[in-house]
Structure formats: C-alpha cells, structure tokens
C-alpha cells in the first residue's frame, strides 16, 4: 500500500461525553484519531465498555460525536453520506419481509427499478450461498443463514467500506467458522468491490484470524491503547506460534491496564531497518541501583514473589518495577508469573568485584538495542564522537521530546557505568571511551 | 390397445377453479352491496337537516339502523386510525412536539366522550347548518374521541420501542422517511395497533347510545342507528324492542369479530417481531379465500403494487437529493414559527375563555362537583374491587389449565365484546323490579364495562407462570395459601397492574353513562361526577361541564401518575419474571 494513499475515512479527535444534570461530564470516549485505509481489513478490539460500537457508529454517521470530526474522503459527515454498509450483531432483518425483499430494500432506497433490483439481489444471494431461500422469511432461517442475509443486504449496495458490528457473536461455533472463512474468501479473492472492511469485536482470536490491522481499545474512558499490523499469511493457523504469541500479547494488553507489554514479534531485519518499531525503551534506573538490587536477591535462594519482595524492601511495587525491568533487560534476573529469580549471569554479577562488574555489565548491554545503536553510531565515526542532537532526533521519532531526553540520559548513565562511552553536557558530545572492539564492522 | 382416459390437467384446474370462482363472485357481490349501502347512506347525509329522526321500534328497521351505525363506527374508526398514526408519528420523531403531545395525550384520554359533545356539535352546526351531514359528522367525531387516544399512544409507544439496530439499518441504507414508515414503523406497530383497534371499536359500541341520541340544551338529537333504537326502546319501556335491539347489536359485534378481526389478526401475524417462529400462526379461512380470490389478486398486482412502487421510488429520489445544508431553510423556520404562534394563540384563547367561564362558578356548585368526584371515586373503586374479586380466581383457574382456556377464552372474548351500555336498560329494569336502585345499577354497569380488561390480563399472566416454578411449588408441598402468596399473586402482579390501569381509566369514562339514564320516561340519576357531566351536557350548562371535566381529568391523571405509575414500576422491577 503506497503511503501517500489518502484514507477513505478518518476521525479527527472525535470523542463522546455526556453532561450530567450536576454539570459534571462523563467521558465515554476520549478524543480519538483513527483512519480507514483503502485495502485494509481493520479490527477494532476492546473489552465491553470501551466504546467500540459507538466508534463504529460515529464513523458511519449514525451517532454524532460530542466533539471532533469524521471525514470521508476529506469531507465532513453531514455534508455527505458515507458509502458504507453495516452487518449488525443481531442481524437487524425485517421479519415481515422475505429474504429477497430484505436484500432489495437498500436498493429500493437508492431508487433502483424493480427488475434490476431483483436481479442484483438474487446475484448477491447466490454469492453468499443463499440461492433458493429468497422466498423464505427470516424467522424460518437458522442464525447463520440470517447473518448471510445480513451480509447479502450489506454487500448488495457495493459499499466502499463494509462495517461489521460483532457480526459473529450471536451465532453458533460452526456457523461462525464457515462464515469467517467465506468472508475471507470473498475479501481476499476480490470477489466483492468493497475497498475496506472494519470489524468491531471483543474476540481476540477473531481479530488476529481476520484482520491485517488491529486497533486495541482500553476503557474508562474508551481510548486507543495501541495499534499494529498483522503480517501473518492467510489462511492463518491458530496453532502457529506467531499466532498464539500475538493472541497472548493482545490478551496481556487487555488485562493490564497500565503500561503496554513489549511486542511479541521479533523485529525482522527489514522492519529494524525501517526503524518503524521503536527500540524497547530503557527503564529509568541507574546501574548502581541494579547492582544493589541483585545483591539483595543473592542471599534469597528461591524465586521471590514481587509483591512480597516489595513489601520486604519497604517499597511500592510501582517503584520496584523499573528496576526489575532493567535487570530483566540486562539478563540478570528472570520473571515468571510474578516471581523473580536471579539468572546465572545475575548471580555472577552480584558476586563479582567492581572491576569484574563493569566487564560483565559491558557484556550485558550488548543486548540492549538503544545502547548497541549508540555504540555502533560512535564506532562508525572517524573521531568516534557524535553530537547528542543526532541521537535525540532519532529518539524523538518514537518518544516525546521529554522522554527522548530521559532515554538519552539513562543511556548515558549506563554507558558511563560500563565505560563504553561518555558524554559532555556542555558541548553536547558523546564519545567512545574504549577502543572499538571490531574495526571491521560492515559499513 | 387404448389406454384408459387420463383426466386432462385442464379438467383438474376446472374443478379446483370452481371454489375460487365462487369466492370471486362472493367478493364481487360483497363489494357491490357495500357500494349500494354507502350510496344510500350518503344520500341521507346529503339530504336536509333532520335533527330528531323518528325511530321506528319495529324489528324490521333494525338492519337499516345497524347499517347506519356500522357506517358511523367504521368511518370514526378509520379517522381515528389515520389521526392516531399521524399523532403518534409526529410525537415519536419530533422531540419538541413529543414533550407537549405525550402529556396532552394523558389528559385527552381522561376526558369523557360526553364532555366533547357540546363543542363538537356546535362546531358541526356552524359548518353544515342545513344538511344532515353536520349532525352525522358530529356523532362520528364523538365516537372518534373515544377511540383515538389509545390508538395514538399505542403507535407512539411501538415506534419508540423499535430496536436500535433496525432503526440504524434504515439510516445506513438511506431509507426515505416514507420507506421507513412502510417497511419498519408501520409493520412494527401493526400488532399493537390491531389489538388496540379491537378495543377501540368495542369502546365505540359502548358509547354508541350516547353518541347517537343526545340532548343539547333545548334541542333533542336523534340519528337513525342501533344506539338510538335501544335508547328509544328504553325510553318507551318496550322490553321486546330492547331485546330485539340487544340481539341485533350482539349479533353484529360477534359477526364483526369473526369476519373482520379474526381475519385481520391472522393477517397481522406476519408482523410479529420474533426471530424464530414460536407458535403456530392463527388461521382464518376468510383470509385464505381473500388471498386467492381473483379480484383481490388483480387489484394487488395491477394497482396497489405499481402505485406503491412508484410512490416509494419518487420519494426515495427526493430524499436522496434533499439539500444537506445545516439548519432549516428560512421558509421552514417561518412556517414553524407560524404554527407555534397559532397553537399558542388557540391555547391562550381557550384558557382565557375557560377561566372566564369558571370565574362565575358558585361555591355550592364547586362543592357539588367535588362531592360528585368523591362519590364516583368510591363507585369506581367498588367496581374495581368487585372485578378483582371474581376475575382473579377465575382468570387464574383458566390460565393455569390450558384445556379449560381453550374453551373459556373465546367465550370470554364474546362476553367482553357485548357493549355493557346495551345491557344497561335490561339490567336496570330487572334491578328496579327486585327493589335495587341506581346505586347498584351504576356500579354494575361500570363493572360490566371494565372487568374484561382485568380478566384477560389475569389469564395472560397465569398462562405465563413458568412451569418450573409451579412444579417447585408442588414438590415442596405448598399449601393453597402459600401457593397464592408466594407463586401466583407475585407471578401475575405485572399483568394484573396492566389490567387495572386500563380498567380504571375505562371506569371513570363509563361513569358518565352509568350514573345518568333515561328509562320509561324517567331520568334515573345519582350523585356523581359522571351524572354532573351528563346533566350539564343535556342542560347546556357549559360552566358545570367544564368544571366537572377538569376535576375528572385531574383525578384520572393524578391517579395514573401517583398510583398506577408507581405500581407499574414496582411490577416491572421486583415482580418481573425473566427467563
């Protein structure tokens, strides 16, 4: 997808709130920006109460946002009607109309004449596997068949974007499986002229199975936690490790209201070069604190519960977490389901004297992306020195200005401790303090 | 060798076609008869003004009178239906209007039919001073005022109750308001409208006597019809004629129920809002015949469908090309202002006139009205208590025994469809003979008019009692007392409240005809708000009419808000049976 492709629909800081009689304001959805790109199959995933259905309704113009704007092809809704269709959770078929009449109804609203209407409706019914049922009433059909009618009614108007609001959640397991596969077949096989699909669901597996882009929502108020692409090949195998890793990752996001867990997919060389993925942020902890922490752990032979440990140390868990994160990043401890334990490297680090510690720390930070990148950058320079602006520019692509500065500060404190590089705040220069290990690094 | 002759397919077609051809002839003949009737009645209406029609008590004039009454009821009902849909639609889709129209509906519903009489009639005389059609329209409008409010509320409530997704489907697929009305609003409201129509027409029969013959000031009005026949017979004390009239009325009511309402109910079944077929659909042989008859099919194929198609297409095109500019056009805004100003002016003028009229009221008169309100209140309560006392045990007995329900329900339906007012002369004559008076008779009449609402709701509630709860009561060997206390009464409570709400509203309205009655040249009356209203109408005493009507309206709406509404909420929070 060329990056300069304009989105079909986008939202500009749309939000939803209700004013209470007391004057207080209940925020349901925080200001949200999202876009629907041509050729994309987006899944909007979130727990109940995260406002996913409301977002869908604001995108399609069914619900007016309290503030912000929804643009379709750059024009605000209200001036134009979105070229959209919706497949509803509970089908929303008219029980007094036959299957054929239900599918014809949207065409009738568009002023299509009777003969053409019937022809188009029968054709789309055939496409979704409903040929022969056109004379039946919806109540004579099974749930799966009813939702096929729902799909037929949506597809008959050849919408630019097909919206689906929990389309499979009222169906039995077997119908869901078939319907999902058939939908993918229509979409991937380009058998329908639809340019984009937007799926609202609370089912993680469903999102990973179908979508090529997933937006995860949090609640109180509803807001986007994160969004990412899914590059798995179709048909997707739910047992494949990449699949389960992604599902677990999303599960973690949904169950941990605080910070985002690290992304599960190892960056491929390609994505690393694109620098699209931010390097894992450094926890803001001094190396000496890490050293003190592993020393405390040393006499404790078995794995420690983090909460118990925090209690023992008279610390808040929130204060302990960055230290643990740093120790994990350096490979000194491992965390398993809330229990923390020293690794062999960590034990050696704790038992070593100050000089050995520096040596071991230098070893350990080889695996830390940001430090590795700074070191490589300096090594490539003839004078082995660089202005801090260079690194700040890179960091600011992924972090706020303040956070970028903090990241660099932390990196410098780690680099100094390891005696790899040093920094002069006045001149703003970073330079290597040790000779480059490997002069013949590929250019 | 020759094979045996095989009957040709044409011959089979021919023999099968015989029945449908007979149906065609019947449908055609029915249409002709209806046309003739309408022409005849129209001629009378267009004729000169004959306010006091000489009613013949001969049974042979009954068919003609019945036709007149049916015509009036039909026109009144159709007008009510149209108006109700319009009113309900506007209230459901226009937020500012809704805020005024729905409370107004509550008040209008509480005003008894007779209170509208002087206003309606005077307006009609002014419009048609020389033609019979004026009085006829006045009578029709009176019947209309008794039917329309319930229908309007039913349509409004249905449209408001349309599930969100269905509404969104019509919006995302850009249905024009017309297409939405035809394919969503109307079908969704259909079943509620049919049931309320049955009740509305029954109410029309109930007030038919009052609407066909009445006194207004010095003038005596009498229109040809079943209602005036019965009143004339009662006035003359002609028991034979009363019984003839009663038989004719019951016959017609039962006939209309069987031929019209059963057919309509069977047809309306397809509008039942359900995802799966839950019960076998009701059958109607007449509907089946109509669906197959050639004239009906022809009309549908060559007129109704193409017409609907063109209308929908035209309106859809207009809807799609509507200007989307924000805000209303100056013309629309001006129109809205004009309408608001007009409504406000009329309301203010009405209030002003009303206050001026009321300002002259005497203290004694006011006390009289209040005492009447108290008496009628007690009477209504007594009627409701009596109704409860017999309908709850009987209704539960019927509802919990499906086999009994099969026979008892149709019987009860016929019983309910007999207008109590028609029975009134008979009841009153009997009571006077055994020494009872107007006091008992009026309570009895109110009871006769309203008990059915309670009975039907109790039956429905008892039928809906979950069988597992009943089985649990049996397994734990509940005593009869505990069974009623713990299972039956809480279980039927929501339906019981619904029945009581309707019955109480009906009871107040019925008091107007129940407390004041002319029989054998006497006027029987008793202290009560209903009697005050009737007498004030007869005497043309607008001040008393206005005062009594306002008091009744306040009492009925007040009861609704303070008592029934709370019970209703309780029923739907604590006593709701959910699966």
Q: Residue B325's pLDDT is what? A: 57
Record: contact A96-B274, CB cut-off 8 A: no
Which pLDDT band holds residue A278 (cuts at 50, 70, 90)?
low
* pLDDT at B1 exceeding the cut of 70: no
Query: Which residue does chain B place closest to A165, by CA atoms?
Result: B165
Is A62 an 8 Å CB contact of chain B? yes
* Residue A165 main-chain phi, psi, to 5 deg: -105, 95
* Predicted local confidence at residue B378, as pLDDT: 93
Query: Taking all residues of chain A, what is their mean pLDDT, rounded to a whole number?
Result: 84
ipTM of the complex: 0.77
pLDDT, tens digit (0-9, with 9 covering 90-100), for A362-402: 888 887 888 888 888 888 777 888 888 888 877 877 777 77
Q: How many CB atoms lie within 10 A of CB A126?
A: 13
Establish whether the linkage from the previous residue to A221 is cis, with ω within 30° of 0: yes
DSSP alpha helices (H): ranges in A383-433?
Answer: 388-396, 401-418
- What is the band of B187 on the pLDDT scale with cuts at 50, 70, 90? very high
> Region B464-493: what's the mean pLDDT?
85
Where exactly are the structural domains of chain B? 54-274, 283-318, 358-579
- Tens digits of per-residue pLDDT, B137-157? 889 999 999 889 889 988 998
Mean pLDDT of A230-259: 84
> Which three-class secondary structure state does DSSP give residue A317?
helix
A/B interface, count of CB pairs below 8 Å:
82
When pLDDT is averaged across residues B174-199 and rounded to a whole number, the result is 90
**A213-218 vs A223-229, strand pairing mode:** antiparallel
Between B175 and A2, the higher pLDDT residue: B175
Cβ neighbours for B4, distance < 8 A, ≥ 6 positions apart: none
Report how far residue B443's alpha carbon sits from residue B383's, in angstroms, rounded to the nearest whole number: 6
pLDDT tens figures, B154-175: 899 889 989 999 999 999 999 9
In a mutagenesis test of the B interface, which of A57, A89, A96 is the best target, namely the one with the most B β-carbons within 10 Å?
A: A96
Report the side by side order of strands in the sheet with A41-45. Answer: A84-87, A161-165, A196-201, A41-45, A213-218, A223-229
Q: Do B258 and B287 contact (CB within 8 A), yes or no?
A: no
How far is residue B39's CA from residue B46's CA, in Å, rounded to a whole number? 10
Asked if A114 and B309 come within 8 Å (Cβ–Cβ), the reply is yes
What's the whole-number mean pLDDT along residues B401-409? 79
- The residue with greater pLDDT, A301 or B120, is B120
Query: What is the CB neighbour count within 10 angstroms for residue B197?
Result: 22
The mean pLDDT of B538-544, rounded to a whole number, is: 83
CA A161 to chain centre: 21
Average pLDDT, stretch A296-321? 78
The stretch A92-97 carries a mean pLDDT of 92
Judge whether B324 is closer than 8 Å to chain A, CB to CB.
yes
Per-residue pLDDT tens digits for A134-172: 899 998 888 889 999 999 999 999 999 999 999 998 888
A137 touches chain B (CB under 8 A): yes
Decide if A60 and B172 are in contact by the 8 Å CB cutoff. Answer: yes
The model's pTM: 0.73
Nearest to A96 among B168, B187, B312 (CB): B187
pLDDT band at B20 (very low <50, low <70, confident <90, very high): low
Q: Average pLDDT in the B107-123 region?
A: 84
B277 closest CB neighbour out of A84, A89, A140: A140
A231 touches chain B (CB under 8 A): no
Q: A-chain residues within 8 Å CB-CB of B270?
A: 95-96, 137
Distance of CA B223 to the CA centre of its chain: 22
Q: Determine the pLDDT at residue B118.
A: 83
pLDDT of residue B51: 67
At residue B276 the predicted structure's pLDDT band, cuts being 50, 70 and 90, is low
**Local confidence band at B540 (pLDDT 50, 70, 90 cut-offs):** confident
Predicted pLDDT of residue A435: 56
Residue B33 in this model has a pLDDT that exceeds 70:
yes
User: At how many degrees (to 10) do helices B438-463 and B402-417 cross?
Assistant: 140
Quickly state the pLDDT bin for A413 (edges 50, 70, 90): confident
Structure confidence at residue A434 (pLDDT): 66
Judge: domain A287-362, CATH 2.170.190.11. no
Max Cα distance, chain A (Å): 89
On the question of a cis peptide bond just before residue A235, with omega within 30 degrees of 0, the verdict is yes
Q: Give me the pLDDT at residue B79, please.
A: 95
What is the tens place of the pLDDT at every residue in B212-221? 888 777 777 8
* Per-residue pLDDT, A384: 83
Residues B559, B504 contacting (CB under 8 angstroms): yes
In the beta sheet, which residues pair with residue A197?
Answer: A41, A162
Q: Is B308 on the interface with A (CB under 8 A)?
A: no
Per-residue burial over B218-231, b if 16 or more Cβ lie within 10 Å, else e, is eeebbbbbbbbbbb
A135-159 residues labelled b (16+ CB within 10 A) or e (exposed) = eebbbebebbbbbbbbbbbbbbbeb
pLDDT of residue B182: 92
Residues 6+ apart with CB under 8 A from B275: A91, A95, A138, A139, A146
Contact at CB, A108 and B276, closer than 8 angstroms: no
Strands annotated E in B496-572: 516-519, 522-525
The reported pLDDT for the residue numbered B172 is: 93
Interface contact B171, partner A, CB < 8 A:
yes
Rounded Cα–Cα distance for residues A242 and A246 (Å): 6
Higher pLDDT, A300 or B550: B550
- Please report, rounded to a whole number, the percentage of residues in chain B having pLDDT higher than 90: 16
Question: What is the pLDDT, as a whole number, of residue B373?
Answer: 92
Tokens of A203: 């089912």
- For tokens 């108007």, the residue is A157
Least confident of A165-179, A278-292, B379-393, B526-540: A278-292
Measured distance CA(A131)–CA(A398) in Å, rounded: 52
Q: Count the alpha carbons within 13 Å of B395 in the hemisphere toward its beta carbon.
A: 29
Helix or strand run (H / E) with residue A357: helix A354-364
Are A97 and A141 in contact, with CB atoms under 8 Å apart? no
Query: CATH: 1.10.287.370, 3.40.710.10, 3.10.20.740, 3.40.50.300. Which one for A9-274?
Result: 3.40.50.300
Q: How far apart are the first and last CA of chain B?
A: 71
User: For residue range A336-347, what is the model confidence (pLDDT) as tens digits?
Assistant: 777 788 888 888
* Greatest mean pLDDT range, B34-48, B57-71, B297-311: B57-71
Cβ–Cβ < 8 Å for A36, A196: yes
Report yes or no: A96 at the B interface, CB cutoff 8 Å: yes
Class for domain B358-579, per CATH?
Answer: mainly alpha
What's residue A277's pLDDT? 45
> Lowest mean pLDDT: which of A57-71, A247-261, B54-68?
A247-261
Asked if B527 is an interface residue toward chain A (Cβ–Cβ < 8 A), one would say no
Closest in A80, A94, A146 to B183, CB measured: A94
Nearest to A109 among B174, B271, B276 (CB): B174
Position of tokens 């007030």? Answer: B207
- List CB contacts (< 8 A) between A58 and chain B: none
Subunit contact B183:A105, Cβ cutoff 8 A: yes
Interface test with B, best of A54, A62, A70, A111 (most B CBs within 10 A): A111
* Lowest mean pLDDT across A55-64, A102-111, B160-169, B326-335: B326-335
Percent pLDDT > 70 in chain A is: 92
- Residues of A within 8 A of B268 (CB-CB) are none
B174 touches chain A (CB under 8 A): yes
Name the DSSP letter for residue A229. E
Of the listed ranges A55-59, A94-98, A100-104, B439-443, the one predicted with least confidence = B439-443
CATH of B54-274, one of 2.40.240.10, 1.10.3720.10, 3.20.20.80, 3.40.50.150: 1.10.3720.10
How close B95 comes to chain A (CA, Å)?
Answer: 17
Mutant choice from A109, A110, A165, A166 vs B, greatest count of B C-beta within 10 A? A109
Q: Which residues lie below 8 Å from residue B304, measured CB to CB, with a gap of 6+?
A: none
Query: Would you place residue B376 in the very low, low, confident or very high pLDDT band (cuts 50, 70, 90)?
Result: very high
Residue A215 pLDDT > 90: yes
Per-residue pLDDT, A270: 40
- From the list A61, A79, A157, which residue is nearest B173 (CB)? A157
User: Could you state, in order of their start, the residue ranges of all structural domains in chain A?
Assistant: 9-274, 287-362, 369-432
* Cβ contacts of A90 on chain B, cutoff 8 Å: 163, 165
The pLDDT of residue A236 is 87
pLDDT tens-digit profile of B547-560? 898 999 899 889 88
Q: Which of residues 107-166 of B touch A (CB under 8 A)?
A: 163, 165-166
Of the candidate ranges A57-71, B324-338, B499-513, the one whose mean pLDDT is the lowest:
B324-338
Which pLDDT score is estimated for A359? Answer: 85
For the segment A73-99, the average pLDDT, to the nearest whole number, is 89
Closest CA–CA distance from residue B308 to any residue of chain A (Å): 11
In this complex, is the C-beta atom of B433 within 8 Å of any C-beta atom belonging to chain A? Answer: no
> What's the pLDDT at B259?
85
- The span from the CA of B454 to the CA of B392, in Å, is 8
Distances in whole angstroms, Cα of residue B228 to Cα of each of B60, B129, B220, B490: 15, 22, 12, 45
Over 70: is that where the pLDDT of A85 sits? yes
Q: Which of A172, A185, A164, A174 is nearest to A42 (CA)?
A: A164
Inspect the interface and report whether the beta carbons of A86 and B168 lie closer than 8 Å: yes
Strands (E), A192-250: 196-201, 213-218, 223-229
Task: State the Cα–Cα distance between residues A359 and A419, nearest whole angstrom.
Answer: 9
């Amino acid at each position: 997808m060329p990056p300069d492709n304009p989105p079909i629909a986008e939202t500009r800081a749309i939000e939803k709130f209700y004013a209470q009689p007391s004057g207080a304001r209940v925020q349901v959805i925080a200001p949200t920006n999202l876009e629907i790109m041509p050729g994309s199959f987006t899944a909007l995933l979130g727990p109940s109460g995260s406002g996913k259905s409301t977002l869908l309704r604001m995108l399609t113009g069914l619900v007016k946002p309290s503030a912000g704007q929804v643009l379709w092809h750059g024009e605000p809704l209200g001036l134009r009607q979105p070229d959209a269709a919706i497949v509803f959770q509970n089908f929303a078929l008219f029980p007094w109309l036959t299957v054929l009449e239900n599918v014809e109804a949207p065409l009738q609203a568009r002023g299509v004449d009777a003969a053409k209407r019937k022809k188009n409706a029968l054709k789309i019914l055939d496409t979704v596997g409903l040929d022969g049922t056109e004379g039946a009433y919806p109540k004579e059909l099974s749930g799966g068949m009813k939702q096929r009618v729902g799909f037929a009614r949506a597809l008959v108007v050849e919408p630019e974007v097909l919206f689906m609001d929990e389309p499979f959640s009222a169906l039995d397991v077997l119908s869901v499986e078939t319907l999902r596969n058939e939908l993918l077949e229509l979409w991937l096989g380009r058998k329908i002229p639809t340019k984009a699909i937007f799926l609202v669901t609370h089912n993680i597996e469903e999102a990973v199975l179908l979508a090529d882009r997933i937006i995860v929502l949090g609640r109180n108020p509803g807001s986007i936690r994160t969004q990412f692409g899914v590059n798995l090949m179709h048909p997707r195998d739910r047992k494949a490790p990449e699949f389960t890793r992604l599902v677990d990752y999303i599960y973690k996001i949904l169950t941990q209201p605080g910070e985002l867990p690290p992304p599960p997919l190892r960056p491929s060389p390609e994505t690393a070069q694109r620098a699209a993925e931010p390097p894992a942020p450094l926890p803001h902890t001094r190396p000496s604190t890490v050293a003190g922490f592993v020393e405390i752990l040393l006499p404790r032979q078995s794995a420690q519960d983090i909460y118990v440990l925090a209690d023992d140390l008279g610390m808040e868990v929130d204060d302990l977490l960055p230290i643990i994160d740093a120790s994990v990043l350096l490979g000194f401890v491992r965390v398993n389901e809330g229990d923390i334990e020293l690794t062999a490297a960590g034990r050696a680090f704790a038992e070593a004297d100050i000089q050995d510690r520096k040596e071991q720390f230098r070893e350990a930070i080889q695996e830390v992306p940001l430090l590795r990148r700074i070191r490589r950058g300096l090594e490539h320079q003839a004078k082995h020195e660089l202005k801090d602006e260079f690194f700040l520019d890179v960091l600011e692509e992924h972090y706020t200005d303040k956070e970028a500065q903090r990241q660099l500060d932390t990196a410098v404190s780690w680099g100094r401790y390891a005696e790899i590089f040093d920094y002069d705040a006045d001149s703003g220069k970073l330079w290597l303090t040790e000779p480059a290990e490997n002069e013949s690094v590929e250019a | 060798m020759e094979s045996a002759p095989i009957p040709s397919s044409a011959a089979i077609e021919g023999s099968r076609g015989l029945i449908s051809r007979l149906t065609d002839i019947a449908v055609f003949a029915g249409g002709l008869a209806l046309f003739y009737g309408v022409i005849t009645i129209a001629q009378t209406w267009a004729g000169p003004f004959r306010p006091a029609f000489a009613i013949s008590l001969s049974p042979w004039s009954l068919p003609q009178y019945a036709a007149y009454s049916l015509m009036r009821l039909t026109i009144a009902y159709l007008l009510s239906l149209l108006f109700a849909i319009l009113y309900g639609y506007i209230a459901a889709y226009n937020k500012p209007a809704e805020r005024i129209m729905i409370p107004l509906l509550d008040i209008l519903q509480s005003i008894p039919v007779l209170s509208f009489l002087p206003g309606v009639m005077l307006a009609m005389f002014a419009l048609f001073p020389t033609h019979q059609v004026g009085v006829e329209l006045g009578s029709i409008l009176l019947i209309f005022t008794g039917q329309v409010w319930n229908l309007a509320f039913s349509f409004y409530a249905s449209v408001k109750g349309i599930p969100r997704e269905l509404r969104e489907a019509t919006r995302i697929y850009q249905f024009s308001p017309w297409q939405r009305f035809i394919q969503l609003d109307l079908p969704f409201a259909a079943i509620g409208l049919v049931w309320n129509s049955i009740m509305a027409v029954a109410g029309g029969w109930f007030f038919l006597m009052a609407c066909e013959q009445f006194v207004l000031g010095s003038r005596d009005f009498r229109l040809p019809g079943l209602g005036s026949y019965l009143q004339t017979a009662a006035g003359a004390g002609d028991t034979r004629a009363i019984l003839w009239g009663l038989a004719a009325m019951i016959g017609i009511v039962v006939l209309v129920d069987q031929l019209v309402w059963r057919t309509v109910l069977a047809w309306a079944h397809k509008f039942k809002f359900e995802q799966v077929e839950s019960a076998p659909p009701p059958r109607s042989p007449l509907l089946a015949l109509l669906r197959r008859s050639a004239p009906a099919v022809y009309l549908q194929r060559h007129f109704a469908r193409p017409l609907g198609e063109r209308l929908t297409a035209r309106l859809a095109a207009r809807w799609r090309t509507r200007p989307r500019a924000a805000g209303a056009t100056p013309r629309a805004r001006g129109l809205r202002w004009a309408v608001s100003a007009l409504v406000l002016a009329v309301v203010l003028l009405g209030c002003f006139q009303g206050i001026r009229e009321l300002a002259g009221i005497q203290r004694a008169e006011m006390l009289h009205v209040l005492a009447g309100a108290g008496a009628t209140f007690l009477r209504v309560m007594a009627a409701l208590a009596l109704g409860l006392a017999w309908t709850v045990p009987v209704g539960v007995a019927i509802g919990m025994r499906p086999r009994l329900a099969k026979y008892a329900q149709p019987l009860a339906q016929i019983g309910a469809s007999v207008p109590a007012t028609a029975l009134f002369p008979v009841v009153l004559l009997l009571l006077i003979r055994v020494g009872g008076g107007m006091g008992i008779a009026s309570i009895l009449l109110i009871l006769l008019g309203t008990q059915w609402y309670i009975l039907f709701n109790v039956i429905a509630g008892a039928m809906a009692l979950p069988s597992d709860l009943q089985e649990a009561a049996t397994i734990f060997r509940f005593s009869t007392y505990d069974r009623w206390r713990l299972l039956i009464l809480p279980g039927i409570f929501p339906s019981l409240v619904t029945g009581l709400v309707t019955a109480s509203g009906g009871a107040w309205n019925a008091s107007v005809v129940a407390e004041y009655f002319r029989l054998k040249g006497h006027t029987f009356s008793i202290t009560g708000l209903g009697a005050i209203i009737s007498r004030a109408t007869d005497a043309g005493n607008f001040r008393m009419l206005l005062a009594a009507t306002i008091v009744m309206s306040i009492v009925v709406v007040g009861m609704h808000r303070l008592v029934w509404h709370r019970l209703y909420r309780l029923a739907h929070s604590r006593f709701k049976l959910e699966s």
